């Protein structure tokens, strides 16, 4: 863990070499999420509710997804940039160092400018929480925490999956963005509003509904089922599956190389 | 102790023809060709040895290095290095080896080199006292005291390579793999790097395995060479044995005053023009000194030099001999 922070300090030092670039990127990240927020805002200005959800409810859902995504992006960026690690041959360098592969991939890249997005998410969550009519009892707070943890697990799993696929093909990886960025886009609203099919897809194939939709129902009081609070933890199951897939890919890399 | 026994490695390579429609087709169905990168590669390298591993591009040098450093798993065969199989016990194995890829950096690009060194110290869990000792030794030997405070991106290639080598030795490895360490360096840096490699091999008894295309590296550094071509070990022996193998002919370059160079059965005139000439002598049948006295009896020699086959030529003729 100490080493993790040392890596972090190293990457921070590197990125601070280009201070202007860092600030611009952070600002850009902030603004991008901001426009998304406005998108939601203007729509509600016109419609007042979407599929029975009010503006403040949607905002909670949105900010939790955004926050989970930006936390994941901050620390699991190494997996997101994994194809580059393979292409540049730096994976070889990782393999000749006496530390775990996962640890080294995680520390190969950290994106501190994503802090812009994170600030945006926190800010939005604060607004959403203060605007909502939810009674903040212990179980509701726990639900939000669980949603965040589950969200990080699922997004991290998607990154790991992405990295795993890049062992097999570098070309055509763009399609994976449907799942990573797509999940973020879809995750802005409770996935049920897109219809039964999409809800099923995001429950059983890419389980973002597990942390985003079902516990959300409990949070806003549409459901009384307490089990929903812990549903996001199933995201870790998905993470384990994706991790196993990554291990499989790594073994294959070791026997092909280049 | 490094032992390789009958290592085989095959790569599957996708291929397609040029053109857009071919690219689309390749999305669904790929044709593969199989490349036998290594076939039955076996050799043994003892502790403290310095070995030059040479061969043309694509011969399998890098694959062998990658197998020995635990990056690749071979299809079949055994590889035991200091009692371990590299790809099975990767973490404990790599703790004892250092690897320098001449074309890839292990330094963090944007921070001073010394910061990279310190992170490497933490990665390898090198003890502080030991680290200081090793570092000051390396700084002195490689003459990098001035440049370690500079970010890696601002170093010249020669400076960077010296820092790379230092970085891979901070944990005092028993074995050092150098994959083309002098590639792209100028003469001064090359000599500095060579001298350094010699020193650590002599003083720390570090086993050094060196791949290179630079025959001067080989000549300056190694006693033993292993030649690989098309995935097979073609030759494993001392450098002098390799040289003598193809040197049954020598060329005499002569400046003279007289009628013209004399030819005989054992020596042929290659070139003879305005008092400058070259003669090829079959040294199996005629010694060089006999040839010289024979020539001097016919013409007046002004200047004379004996040109042996350079190691480059030896290697090229070996490539030819093995048809690689």
- The whole-angstrom separation of Cα A179 and Cα A162 is 9
Lowest mean pLDDT among A35-44, A138-147, A165-174, B197-206: A165-174
My answer on whether B146 and B208 are in the same domain is: yes
- The whole-angstrom separation of Cα B196 and Cα B138 is 9
User: In total, how many domains does chain B have?
Assistant: 2
Judge whether B277 lies within some domain: yes
Contact A98 B94 (CB under 8 A): yes
Mean pLDDT of B215-226: 87
How confident is the model at residue B226, as a pLDDT? 92
Contact B99 A255 (CB under 8 A): no
Lowest mean pLDDT among A10-14, A161-165, A213-217, B256-260: B256-260
Nearest by CB to B12, which of A89, A93, A256?
A256
Contact A98 B91 (CB under 8 A): yes
How confident is the model at residue B17, as a pLDDT? 73
Judge whether B132 lies within some domain: yes
Residue A98 with chain B: CB contacts under 8 Å: 91-92, 94-95, 123-124
Q: Does A177 touch chain B (CB under 8 A)?
A: no
My answer on whether B79 and B216 are in the same domain is: yes
My answer on whether B83 and B59 are in the same domain is: yes
- The whole-angstrom separation of Cα A10 and Cα B49 is 37
Judge whether B265 lies within some domain: yes
- The whole-angstrom separation of Cα B86 and Cα B315 is 31
My answer on whether B271 and B192 are in the same domain is: no
Q: Of B51, B50, B54, B33, which is closest to residue B212 (Cα–Cα)? A: B54
Banded model confidence at residue B296, pLDDT cuts 50, 70, 90? confident
pLDDT tens-digit series, residues B190-201: 898 899 999 999
Examine the pLDDT at A151 and tell me if it is beyond 90: yes
- Work out the percent of chain B whose per-residue pLDDT is above 90: 39
Contact B71 A257 (CB under 8 A): yes
Q: Of A45, A23, A233, A33, which is closest to residue A122 (Cα–Cα)? A: A33
My answer on whether B67 and B188 are in the same domain is: yes
From B227, B243, B259, give the residue that closes a domain: B243
Examine the pLDDT at B217 and tell me if it is beyond 60: yes
Contact A92 B66 (CB under 8 A): yes
Nearest by CB to B71, which of A17, A100, A254?
A254
Judge whether B35 lies within some domain: no
Q: Give the nearest chain B residue to A13 (CA atoms).
A: B111
My answer on whether B202 and B54 are in the same domain is: yes
Contact B119 A7 (CB under 8 A): yes
How confident is the model at residue B77, as a pLDDT? 93
Q: Cβ contacts of residue B266 below 8 Å, gap of 6+?
A: B281, B282, B285, B286, B291
DSSP letters, B68-136, are HTTSS--SEEEEEETTB-TTTSHHHHHTTEEEEETTS--S-TTSBHHHHHHHHHHHTT--HHHHHHHHH
Q: Of B285, B228, B277, which is closest to residue B255 (Cα–Cα)? A: B277
pLDDT tens-digit series, residues A111-149: 888 888 888 888 888 888 888 888 888 899 999 999 999
- Tokens describing residue B166: 């230092």
From B243, B263, B293, give the residue that closes a domain: B243
Q: Give the nearest chain B residue to A171 (CA atoms).
A: B27
Nearest by CB to B87, which of A7, A15, A254?
A254
Judge whether B318 lies within some domain: no
Contact B101 A99 (CB under 8 A): no
Mean pLDDT of B197-209: 92
Q: Does A200 touch chain B (CB under 8 A)?
A: no
- Tokens describing residue B143: 């003459």
Say if residues A213 and A189 touch (Cβ distance below 8 Å). no
Three-state DSSP class for A172? coil
My answer on whether B82 and B209 are in the same domain is: yes
My answer on whether B275 and B173 are in the same domain is: no
Q: Does A87 touch chain B (CB under 8 A)?
A: no
- Tokens describing residue B65: 């290095």
DSSP letters, A87-138, are HTTHHHHHHTSSS-HHHHHHHH---GGGHHHHHHHHHHHHHHHHH------H
Nearest by CB to B70, which of A15, A96, A100?
A96
My answer on whether B133 and B195 are in the same domain is: yes
From B219, B243, B267, give the residue that closes a domain: B243
Q: Give the nearest chain A residue to B75 (CA atoms).
A: A255
Residue A93 with chain B: CB contacts under 8 Å: 101, 104, 106
Q: Cβ contacts of residue A96 below 8 Å, gap of 6+?
A: B69, B70, B71, B94, B97, B99
My answer on whether B62 and B160 are in the same domain is: yes
How confident is the model at residue B167, as a pLDDT? 94
Work out the mean pLDDT of chain B and round it to a whole number. 86
My answer on whether B107 and B180 are in the same domain is: yes
My answer on whether B85 and B229 are in the same domain is: yes
To the nearest whole Å, the CA of B238 is away from the closest chain A CA by: 30
Judge whether B60 lies within some domain: yes
Question: How many CB pairs below 8 A link A and B?
Answer: 74
Q: Does B92 touch chain A (CB under 8 A)?
A: yes
Query: Which range marks the domain in which residue B96 is found?
Result: 46-243
Q: Cβ contacts of residue B252 below 8 Å, gap of 6+?
A: B267, B278, B279, B280, B281, B288, B291, B292, B295, B304, B305, B306, B307
Residue B36 with chain A: CB contacts under 8 Å: none
Judge whether B23 lies within some domain: no
pLDDT tens-digit series, residues B57-94: 888 888 899 999 998 899 999 999 999 999 999 999 99
Cβ density class B181-198: b for 16+ within 10 Å, e for less: bbbebeeebbebbbebbe
Mean pLDDT of B116-144: 93
Q: Does B94 touch chain A (CB under 8 A)?
A: yes
- CATH classification at residue B83: 3.40.50.300
Nearest by CB to B73, which of A89, A97, A254?
A254
Judge whether B58 lies within some domain: yes
Q: Give the nearest chain B residue to A88 (CA atoms).
A: B104
Lowest mean pLDDT among A4-8, A188-192, B309-313: B309-313
Contact A14 B66 (CB under 8 A): no
């Amino acid at each position: 863990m100490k080493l993790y922070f040392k890596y972090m300090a190293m990457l921070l030092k590197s990125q601070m070499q280009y201070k202007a670039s860092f600030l611009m990127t952070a600002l850009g990240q902030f603004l991008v999420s901001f426009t998304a927020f406005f998108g939601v805002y203007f729509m509600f200005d016109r419609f007042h509710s979407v599929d029975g959800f009010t503006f403040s409810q949607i905002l909670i859902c949105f900010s939790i997804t955004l926050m989970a995504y930006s936390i994941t992006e901050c620390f699991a960026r190494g997996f997101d940039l994994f194809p580059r690690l393979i292409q540049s041959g730096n994976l070889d360098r990782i393999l000749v160092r006496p530390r775990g592969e996962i640890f080294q991939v995680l520390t190969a890249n950290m994106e501190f400018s994503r802090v812009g997005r994170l600030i945006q998410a926190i800010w939005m969550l604060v607004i959403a929480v203060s605007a909502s009519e939810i009674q903040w009892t212990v179980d509701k707070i726990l639900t939000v925490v669980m949603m965040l943890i589950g969200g990080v697990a699922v997004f991290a799993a998607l990154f790991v999956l992405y990295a795993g696929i890049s062992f097999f093909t570098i070309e055509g990886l763009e399609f994976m963005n449907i799942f990573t960025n797509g999940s973020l886009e879809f995750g802005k609203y409770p996935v049920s509003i897109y219809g039964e099919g999409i809800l099923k897809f995001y429950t059983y194939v890419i389980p973002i509904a597990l942390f985003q939709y079902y516990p959300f129902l409990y949070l806003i009081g549409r459901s009384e089922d307490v089990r929903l609070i812990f549903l996001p933890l199933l995201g870790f199951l998905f993470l384990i599956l994706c991790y196993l897939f990554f291990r499989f890919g790594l073994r294959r890399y070791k026997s092909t190389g280049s | 102790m490094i032992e390789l026994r009958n290592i085989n490695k095959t790569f599957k390579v996708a291929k397609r023809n040029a053109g857009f429609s071919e690219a689309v087709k390749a999305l669904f169905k790929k044709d593969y060709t199989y490349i036998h990168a290594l076939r039955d590669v076996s050799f043994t390298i003892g502790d403290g040895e310095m070995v030059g591993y040479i061969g043309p591009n694509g011969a399998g040098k890098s694959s062998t290095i990658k197998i020995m450093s635990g990056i690749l798993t071979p299809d079949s065969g055994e590889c035991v290095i200091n009692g371990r199989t590299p790809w099975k016990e990767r973490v404990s194995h790599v703790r004892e080896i250092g690897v320098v890829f001449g074309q890839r950096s292990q330094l963090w690009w944007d921070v001073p080199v010394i910061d990279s060194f310190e992170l490497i110290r933490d990665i390898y869990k090198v003890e502080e006292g030991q680290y200081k000792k090793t570092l000051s030794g390396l700084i002195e030997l490689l003459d990098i005291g001035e440049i370690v405070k500079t970010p890696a991106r601002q170093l010249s290639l020669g400076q960077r390579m010296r820092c790379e080598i230092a970085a891979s030795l901070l944990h005092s490895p028993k074995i050092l793999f150098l994959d083309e360490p002098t590639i792209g360096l100028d003469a001064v840096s090359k000599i500095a790097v060579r001298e350094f490699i010699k020193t650590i091999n002599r003083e720390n008894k570090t086993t050094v395995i060196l791949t290179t295309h630079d025959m001067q590296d080989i000549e300056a550094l190694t006693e033993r060479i292993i030649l690989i071509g098309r995935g097979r070990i073609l030759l494993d022996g001392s450098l002098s044995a390799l040289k003598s193998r193809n040197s049954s002919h020598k060329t005499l370059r002569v400046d003279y005053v007289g009628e013209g160079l004399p030819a005989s059965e054992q020596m042929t005139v290659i070139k003879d023009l305005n008092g400058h000439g070259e003669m090829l002598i079959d040294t199996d049948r005629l010694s060089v000194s006999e040839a010289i006295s024979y020539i001097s009896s016919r013409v007046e020699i002004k200047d004379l030099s004996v040109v042996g086959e350079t190691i480059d030529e030896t290697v090229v003729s070996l490539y030819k001999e093995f048809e690689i």
